[in-house]
Amino acid sequence: MFGFLSQLAPFSPWVLRYPRRHLRGDLVAGLTVAVVAIPQSMAYALIAGLPVQHGLYASVVPTVAACLWGSSAHLVTGPTTAVSLVVFTTLSGVLAPGDPAWVEAALVLALLVGAIQAAMGLLRLGALLDFVSHSVIVGFSTGAAVLIGFKQLPNFFGLEAGRGGHFLKALAEMASALPRAHPETLLLGLLTVAVIAGVKKLRPAWPGTLFALILCGAAVALFDLDRRGVAVVGAIPRSLPPFRVPGVSWEEIPRLFPGALAIAVLGLVEAVSIAKAIASETRQRLNVDQEFIGQGMANLAAGLFSGYPGSGSFTRSAVNFRSGANTPLSGIVSAAAVGLTVLVAAPLAARIPIAALAGALLVVSVEMIHLREIRRIVAATRSDAAVLVATFLAVLLLSIEFAVFAGVLLSIALYLKTTSRPRIYSTVPDLVSGKMVRSSRGRICCQMDIVRIEGSLFFGSAAWVQEDLQRRLRSHRWMACLLLRLHQVNNLDASGVHVIDGIHEELRRRGGGIYFSGVNNRVFQVFKNSGLLGRVGDTHIRPSTGAAIRQAMRENFCPVVCAACEVAVFHECPELKRGRWEVLGKGARPRCALEAAAAAGMAPPAKEERA
């Protein structure tokens, strides 16, 4: 019975076995998160072009759904900066800002996002996030920070210019309109930034944003600044999030779907990254697929309870963790506190100036730019730096939905570039220690190259590996044996088998063969299932490189080639050059590769040939 409940309701284990000792920590953490969530939710709704109450609604039922169906004990879900920005750009492609249908479209968008995320979780696609590189995340968040801060400048200065259109065009409009800034609005925006910065410096644990909004709202009420041209939030409905099914226009869904997919991917990257960061400190085992479902349920709830798409919030999750939260109950407490605040204190928020919310968002956008991470990525590799810059520019100069997809594609391309170029190099035994070392200065046996492959041998790398091995055979025309050291090869597919088959056939025409060492169980199973094991011979697969070398010598080394070679690679080389084949063991009768070479029309090697 309990196992069935766990599958149907993943929250049942911690709900049914909730320890009382965790209650105090969860209550304190939940109330602390609510203090942070209320001003953030209002500000982030402004980014999405929605009335502020929809940001508050998105921090109630969706937060509860994510806590119940997610897997993290500390992740708090709700409106976030980056997702709010993508919501705005997605809706802008369908409707004009201020259109009466804007809210309805946001609800439909939330339902689409939730359905996509839940489906990805049910299909167990959590591993796909491993293909999104850190460079893409940093580049996207930096571009989003610049865009968010820029889009709030009109509200901060009290201007109408620069509110829409292309980034560069809006920037030019903003620069020309700055002399017409509204003094009272600008003063309130500056006051907000000053209060947040001051509180953060003097009392970092205090809710500076909430203090700033209260102070600015009091100033508007005291001096009647809203009658002097200062834009304010206005009346907020004094009610809990209303349940309603949004009207769905089938014509809008295809236009909203690309943005919904981008929000779904971005939201999952945000949520899972935050959950993993906190889990690394708490040592909690995360179920990424379950977290996908939790985020999907949250966005489905947002679409049905008057919210809008959201994700895991880094700020609220960090506050939740630092405040002593123990279980997801803390997130449910924060949602309940936000809902109670809307019921009790909604009229008090009517005089909060829009400039104060814009100032708070400017502070947030600056905090989103992590210069240390940017410097580290740029200094790491050229490819990482290129991905970061490309993602950053795509956010600013192209549509932000495209930037999300471009970032994912760049991550996959970066991964494929790395995995499709495995390290391949020749090795030889050290004549003192006997260990295999990388060959230098052309010290390679002219009859057998011992090649170490480090990386997967699959369809993406097959052509690269094939070209490398064929080049080695072309460079050493009397080489009849090849020993592949596969200690670092964990994956082999049909394309890799095809490459090995081709090299094996070439070596057989030369009168030799292919040998292997260090084959793990997974790769050996592919050898067996594909029939490759029968074609090359199971005796050609050895656990140690030394055993494979001696077997190749006994079976396929040619005395004439050894006598013509002036390179000593093995301990046995001096004896083999003198024709003393008994050094390989009693009864060793090597087959001369010259017979096969002569049949192929090749002349015998000259004394001066080098390896």
Specify the DSSP element, H or E, that contains 373: helix 371-380
pLDDT 10s digits, 81-96 = 999 999 999 999 888 8
pLDDT of amino acid 611: 39
How many of the other CB atoms lie within 10 Å of CB of 588? 14
Q: Select the more confidently predicted residue: 50 or 349.
A: 50
Per-residue model confidence (pLDDT) at position 164: 60
Q: Supply the DSSP symbol for 327.
A: S
Superfamily the domain 423-599 falls into: STAS domain (3.30.750.24)
Residue 3, pLDDT score: 46
Is 50 exceeded by the pLDDT of residue 607? Answer: no
Does pTM top 0.85 for this prediction?
no
**Burial group, residue 290, by CB count within 10 angstroms (0-12, 13-18, 19+):** middle
DSSP state, 429? Answer: E
* Whole-number Å distance between alpha carbons of 560 and 565: 9
DSSP code of 241? P
Q: Measured between alpha carbons, how far is 518 from 490 in angstroms, rounded to an integer? A: 10
Ramachandran region of residue 531, left (φ > 0), alpha (ψ -120 to 50) or beta? left
For the chain, the domains span 24-415, 423-599
Residue type, 553: M
The percent of residues in the chain predicted with pLDDT above 70, rounded, is 93
Assess contact for 84 and 47: CB atoms under 8 A: yes
Does residue 179 carry a pLDDT above 80? yes
pLDDT at 176: 86
Q: What is the pLDDT of residue 293?
A: 94
Q: Which of 31-35, 274-278, 306-310, 579-583 has the lowest mean pLDDT?
A: 579-583
Q: Using CA atoms, how far apart are residues 3 and 599, in angstroms rounded to an integer?
A: 70
- 119 and 296 in contact (C-beta within 8 Å)? yes
Q: Which residues, other chains included, contact 320 with Cβ-Cβ below 8 Å and sequence gap of 6+?
A: 29, 30, 32, 33, 74, 76, 330, 331, 334
In angstroms, rounded to a whole number, what is the distance separating the alpha carbons of residues 434 and 431? 6
Give the residue, 598 or 44, on which the prediction is more confident: 44
Q: What phi and psi, each to the nearest 5 degrees, are found at residue 312?
A: -70, 135
Return the exposure string of 506-528: e unless at least 16 CB atoms fall within 10 Å of the residue's CB, then b.
bbeebbbbbbbbbbeeebbebbe
What local confidence, expressed as pLDDT, does residue 97 receive? 81
Residue 440 confidence (pLDDT) above 70: yes
Q: Give me the half-sphere count of Cα atoms (radius 13 Å) on the Cβ side of residue 225.
A: 27
572-590 pLDDT, tens digit per residue, is 888 888 878 777 777 666 6
- Identify the pLDDT of residue 401: 77
Residue 595's pLDDT band, with cuts at 50, 70 and 90, is: low
Residue 361 tokens read as: 């968002």
Amino acid of residue 117:
Q
pLDDT of the residue at 247: 79
User: Which amino acid belongs to residue 346?
Assistant: A
Segment 95-109, tens digit of pLDDT: 888 788 899 999 999
Q: Integer distance in angstroms from the first to the last C-alpha of the chain? A: 71
- Contact status, residue 16 vs residue 22, Cβ threshold 8 Å: no
Question: Of residues 165 and 503, which shows the higher confidence score?
Answer: 503
Give me the long-range contacts of 98-102 (CB less than 8 A, separation at least 24): 98/49, 102/49, 102/50
Q: DSSP readout, 501-532? A: HHHHHHHHHTT-EEEEES--HHHHHHHHHHTH
Indicate the pLDDT class of residue 223, thresholds 50, 70 and 90. Answer: very high
Distance of CA 32 to the CA centre of its chain: 30
